[in-house]
Chain A
Amino acid sequence: MNSRSPILQLRKLTKTFGSFTAVKEINLDITEGEFFTIVGPSGSGKTTLLRMLTGMESATSGDILLRGARINDLPANKRPTCMVFQSLALFPHRTVGQNIEFSLKIKNVAPDVRKARALQLMAQLRLPQDYYGKSVTKCSGGERQRVALARALAYDPDILFFDEPLSAIDYKLRKTLEKELKDIHRETGKTFIYITHSLEEAMVMSDRIGVMRAGQLVQVGSPQQIYSAPETKFVSEFIGDVNVMAVTAKGSSIVHAAEFGVDIASPAVPAGFTAGHLVVRPESLRFIENRSGAENCLEGRLYNEYVLGSRIQYQVRVHDHVFIVEKLRQQAFAGQRDDNVLIGWDAKDSILVTD
């Protein structure tokens, strides 16, 4: 990030469809040059939010400020923003070159200037130069992705929006394209606002992540913050497999887990916290020999194990609750299925969250 000034500011931005509120009072500042990712489950309002920012959907209330100026009433074709669609929306009757040049043609840029710019973008996005005259319908999925990005970049927008452009692409290619996208972000210095279902994707690419739930932005922070300091059970669970225990406050850093009938040493209990959840990541749980091996300890039965590439995941049943313990393959646990085991963790490795 080269400068710290906000390029886009959302103030109480709301969208309702009839009596249904799809986006609810969102406040957010996006910094110039930032890679901001919005994650959230299906139907949480991500697309609706993005469509309001591009101008394809009108806001019901609230403000959208671009460099301080209110742009709510500016139509999409007048906004210096551009969106890459999930379907890519490439023009099927046009060649790769014509697709990329579309916005330049609209601006009446001379054909040779257009072509030079298209070829330059193609080079930047690692599209072979002889694809210029190729029908866009004959390109592969990854190539089409790059054409869509080139077409958006040719418009030279201040902000690029992406609505899950990689969701229909297989894992390996997706990883490559994620990296390329991050590189392009770096090279162009433009502001990217990206939507995805996948927190993994968000973690890889983003400067900051905003988590949406039922039309609201429930937490905004760096990938590190979202990962290590989720504020709610919802956010912590969204990140991946976690162990969550319902707890009530009992002391300044002690909570009670009624389900297991035990008191648990926890991080400092915030003022006003009465009941919530304690989150422990699978890699923070460990198998211990005896109860003094960790600050907190539960006894359970080894129930199942899964090999996940370089890691192994163990499921441990404590009463009716299944805990997940994750270990590196080299440190595989020697226990057998149905063994009684002790699992433990330290207070500093757990997180207190609200509902």
Chain B
Amino acid sequence: MNSLAPRWRTSLIWAWTAAVVIFMYLPGLCLLLASMTSSRYFIFPITKWGFAWWEKTFASLEIHQLFQTSLLIAFCVTVIAVTIALFGALAFARYDWKGRSIYQKIVLLPIFFPQSVLGLSLLLWFNALGLTMSWQTAVFAHLVWIVPVCTLVISIQVYSFDPALEEAAFDLGATKWQVFREVTLPVLFPGIFSGALFAFLLSWGNFPLSLYTTGADTTIPEYLYAKMVAGYTPGVPVLGTVSTVGAAGLLLVGYAIIVMLRRRRAASDQSEV
């Protein structure tokens, strides 16, 4: 089909793709450039190049603290979100029960709430309950938004799960728990893994929910914002670059793992036909 397309059409597709890629990634490149100056302020074009701010950033105790907080929140969110979302997805896609269709809609609704409003309402709630804002409340806030996303991601895998696999294992003498551990969990693993990746990255990069709910603790996106508003140094783009590249790297590795898992599965679909 492609080979039949006229040349001008192919060129147009390429031009369009290039434009989109540049549009999306040029700001990221600027971030990188901005981090590689040795002067205090961001002046374009850069006159004095250097990695001074990279060294300073990596040496900073404050930055280490930021990483720890962000990682801790993202890690807790991932573990809790995946656990809730897995069973939520089973209820969502696997079992037929009264009220399932309403549940399917309600559980996905938080995805579409404006996050700043969600953050504010959670803050009001936590205050009403007399809780002190900290990374723990932020974990909870993130979960409200991330569990639905995670549920959706895992549901896709659950939909393609053949319930006969569980029945076969049960029939072969396995207990319910063995069925879950030996069959359900490993077969759903690619979906669970994607869900975990989503949960981690969405929590890692989240700003609006953290802003309202972290209290005295600070995450990387919050810090970046605060520094932009007041007290800019090229340490900001350094941190931004590290945070973004780290996330992208994680995504790539994760994607590679999923592709590998899927490829192994793909063979099964072919031989079933």
Contacts and interface: CB of A to CB of B under 8 A. Distances in A.
A binds B: yes
A290 interface: no
B164 interface: yes
A135 B264 contact: yes
A106 B174 CA distance: 6
Interface stretch (A18-26, A125-133, A138-146, A206-214): A138-146
Nearest to B168: A89
Interface stretch (A75-83, A187-195, A197-205): A75-83
A93 interface: yes
A138 B267 contact: yes
Contacts of A111: none
Contacts of A260: none
A211 to B, nearest CB: 26
B22 to A, nearest CB: 41
A141 B271 contact: yes
A137 interface: yes
Given A137-B271, A139-B271, A91 B187 contact: yes
The interface size bin for chain A is: 20 to 34
Contacts of B173: 77-78, 103, 106-107, 155
A102 interface: yes
Given A54-B171, A85-B168, A89-B167, A106 B267 contact: no
Interface string B169-187: 1111111001000110011
A141 B174 CA distance: 26
Interface in A76-111: 76-78, 81-83, 85, 87, 89, 91-93, 102-103, 106-107
Interface of A: 54-56, 75-78, 81-83, 85, 87, 89, 91-93, 102-103, 106-107, 135-141, 144, 151-152, 155
Interface of B: 162, 164-165, 167-175, 178, 182-183, 186-187, 189, 264-265, 267-268, 271-272
13 contacts: A56-B171, A76-B171, A82-B172, A87-B272, A89-B165, A92-B165, A92-B268, A103-B174, A106-B172, A106-B174, A151-B172, A152-B172, A155-B172
Counting from the closest, the 7 A-B pairs by CB-CB distance are A137-B268, A89-B168, A89-B164, A103-B172, A137-B267, A92-B268, A93-B186
